[in-house]
Amino acid sequence: MASKQLREYTRDEVAKHNKADDLWIIIDGKVYDVTRFKGMHPGGSSVFLDEEIPGQDATEAFYALHRHEVLQRPQYARLQIGTVTGEESVVVARVAGALSKVPYAEPTWLTGGYHSSYYQESHRQLQKAMREFVDDVVYPDAQLREEDGKRPSPEVIEKMADLNIHAMRMGPGKHLKGKTLMNGVVTPEGFDYFHELVVSQEIGRLGARGYGDGLNAGVVIGLPPVLNFANAELRKRVSEEVLSGRKFISLAISEAFAGSDVQGLKTTAKKSEDGKYWIINGTKKWITNGTFSDYFTVGCKTEDGFTCILVERGEGVETKPIKTSYSSAAGTAYITFENVKVPVENTLGPEGGGIFVILSNFNHERWVMCCSSARAQRTIVEECLKWTAQRKAFGKPLNSQAVIRAKLANMIARVESVQTWLENITYQMNNMSYKEQASKLAGPIGLLKMYSTRCAQDTARDAVQIFGGRGITKTGMGRFIEHYYRTITFDSLLGGAEDVLGDLGVRQAIAKMPKNARL
Residues that bind ligand HEM (CB under 6 A): 25, 32, 34, 41-43, 47, 50, 53, 58, 61-62, 65-67, 70, 76, 79, 475-476
What lies within 8 Å, CB to CB, of 393 at 6+ separation is 401
Question: Distance (Å, rounded) from C-alpha 518 to C-alpha 232?
Answer: 52
**Residue with smaller CB distance to ligand HEM, 25 or 450:** 25
The phi and psi torsions of 112 (rounded to 5 degrees) equal -55, 135
Question: Distance (Å, rounded) from C-alpha 149 to C-alpha 162?
Answer: 25
Strand partners, 83: 8, 30
**Residue with smaller CB distance to ligand HEM, 37 or 118:** 37
CA angle 485, 326, 499 (to 5 degrees): 65
Q: How far is the CB of 476 from ligand HEM (least distance, A)?
A: 4
Q: How far is the CB of 262 from ligand HEM (least distance, A)?
A: 46
Residue 385, judged by CB atoms within 10 A of its CB (0-12, 13-18, 19+), counts as: buried
Give the dihedral of Cα atoms 392, 396, 398, 402; nearest 10 deg. -170
**Residue with smaller CB distance to ligand HEM, 30 or 366:** 30
Q: How far is the CB of 229 from ligand HEM (least distance, A)?
A: 50
Question: Distance (Å, rounded) from C-alpha 464 to C-alpha 467?
Answer: 5
In single-letter form, the type of residue at position 204 comes to: G
Half-sphere exposure of 113 (CA within 13 A, CB side): 3
**Residue with smaller CB distance to ligand HEM, 68 or 270:** 68
**Residue with smaller CB distance to ligand HEM, 73 or 177:** 73
Q: How far is the CB of 464 from ligand HEM (least distance, A)?
A: 15
Q: How far is the CB of 216 from ligand HEM (least distance, A)?
A: 31
Rounded to a whole number of angstroms, the CA Rg of the chain reads 26
**Residue with smaller CB distance to ligand HEM, 74 or 275:** 74
Q: How far is the CB of 401 from ligand HEM (least distance, A)?
A: 20
In single-letter form, the type of residue at position 452 comes to: S
Question: Distance (Å, rounded) from C-alpha 114 to C-alpha 30?
Answer: 36
Question: Distance (Å, rounded) from C-alpha 448 to C-alpha 369?
Answer: 10
**Residue with smaller CB distance to ligand HEM, 66 or 124:** 66
Q: How far is the CB of 6 from ligand HEM (least distance, A)?
A: 14
Q: How far is the CB of 76 from ligand HEM (least distance, A)?
A: 4
Nearest alpha-carbon partner for 373 in 459, 468, 464: 459
**Residue with smaller CB distance to ligand HEM, 36 or 41:** 41
Q: How far is the CB of 490 from ligand HEM (least distance, A)?
A: 26
**Residue with smaller CB distance to ligand HEM, 77 or 493:** 77
Closest residue by beta carbon to ligand HEM: 43
Question: Distance (Å, rounded) from C-alpha 40 to C-alpha 32?
Answer: 15
Nearest alpha-carbon partner for 363 in 430, 441, 299: 441
